[in-house]
Amino acid sequence: MATPKLKATRVSPNIKKFFDKIIEPKTAFFRGFHLGIETKEIKTKEKFKLFEKDSDHVGYSYETSNFEMVDILYFEDVFKRLHKIHVDIYMNDEKTSGELYGLFYAHFEEAHGTPKKYKDQQVFVSEEYGTVRLTHIISSVEHGISIEFSK
């Protein structure tokens, strides 16, 4: 069975602005970074606020004036190269979460082609960039998106 295409229809300007803030610059795979780069490049170029630094990863965060938040963990391998990115996005409600999810889905579909569904994830696979796992999180207490990039 084919995966239905999700379109980012009727998106509020605030959600589009938040999406652009998370993705930009669009000059590379994600936020200007490619998997395989030296992680010291992230530490000098990432514009979000550093909130966590460990031996194998660094974490950056951004919060909107509406208290929506994105946390990004950049993981490095033993050669100090980026091998995985994990993104958690926390939204205020199901509607805005759905709008943002639609934008990410459309963005990844354009870049990587039609995804395969695996459990609750949409999995986009690209020979050039690796795997992108996109998950829409909806529960009675939490609304958001989880994205993982890996080779």
What would the pLDDT profile of 11-51 be if each residue is shown by its tens digit?
899 999 999 999 986 666 789 898 999 999 999 999 999 99
% of the chain at pLDDT higher than 70: 91
What is the overall mean pLDDT for the chain?
89
Strand pairing category for 116-118 and 121-126: antiparallel
Query: Whole-angstrom Cα distance, residue 72 to residue 30?
Result: 11
Whose structure tokens read 């602005």?
17
pLDDT over 90 (residue 104): yes
57: left (phi over 0), alpha (psi -120 to 50) or beta: beta
Tell me the two tokens of residue 101.
Answer: 């999810």
pLDDT reading at 2 higher than 50: no
pLDDT band of residue 123 (cuts 50, 70, 90) is: very high
